[in-house]
């Protein structure tokens, strides 16, 4: 699946997933890996159909011990650290809105650093 149809079918992953589920095939588990927004909607869909879903949470992991808190997320109302408690979690229990907000905290800083260091943004003379 791709947004514009340049690879595979045009559409969202959830469109294909819903078609597969509604085809009558039984699925024991869905595993989702990718952008947070995509995983959020995959998990929302599979919850409707009561299909257990594993989401692979791969935020920035700085020290790998959970001490820095960079990979902190909320799962089932509890604080978890992707580096030591995961990175795979029950997708129906993840607070994706919080994870997306945390992931966007440094967006402006990262953009500025990228523009400052990436040669693609520099004029060729």
What is the predicted pLDDT for the residue at 121?
62
More reliable by pLDDT, 68 or 38: 38
- In whole angstroms, give the CA distance from residue 38 to residue 54: 13
Closest CA to 102 of 81, 76, 116: 81
Average pLDDT over residues 78-90: 96
Mean pLDDT lowest among 17-31, 54-68, 69-83: 54-68
What is the predicted pLDDT for the residue at 27?
96
112 burial class (0-12, 13-18, 19+ CB within 10 angstroms)? exposed
Taking the domains of the chain in order of start, what are their residue ranges?
13-121
- In whole angstroms, give the CA distance from residue 33 to residue 97: 16
Q: How confident is the model at residue 109 (pLDDT cuts 50, 70, 90)?
A: confident
Closest CA to 46 of 25, 26, 74, 18: 18
Q: What is the pTM of this model?
A: 0.84
* Helix, strand or coil, per DSSP, at residue 72: strand
């Amino acid at each position: 699946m791709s947004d514009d149809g340049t690879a595979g079918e045009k559409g969202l992953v959830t469109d294909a997933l819903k078609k597969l589920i509604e085809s009558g095939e039984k699925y024991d588990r869905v595993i989702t890996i990718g952008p947070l927004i995509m995983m959020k909607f995959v998990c929302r869909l599979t919850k409707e159909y009561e299909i257990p879903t594993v989401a692979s949470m791969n935020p920035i992991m700085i020290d790998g011990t959970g001490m820095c808190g960079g990979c902190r997320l909320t799962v089932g109302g509890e604080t978890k650290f992707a580096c030591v408690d995961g990175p795979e979690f029950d997708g129906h229990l993840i607070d994706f809105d919080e994870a997306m907000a945390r992931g966007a905290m440094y967006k402006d800083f990262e953009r500025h650093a990228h523009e400052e260091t990436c040669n693609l943004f520099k004029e060729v003379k």
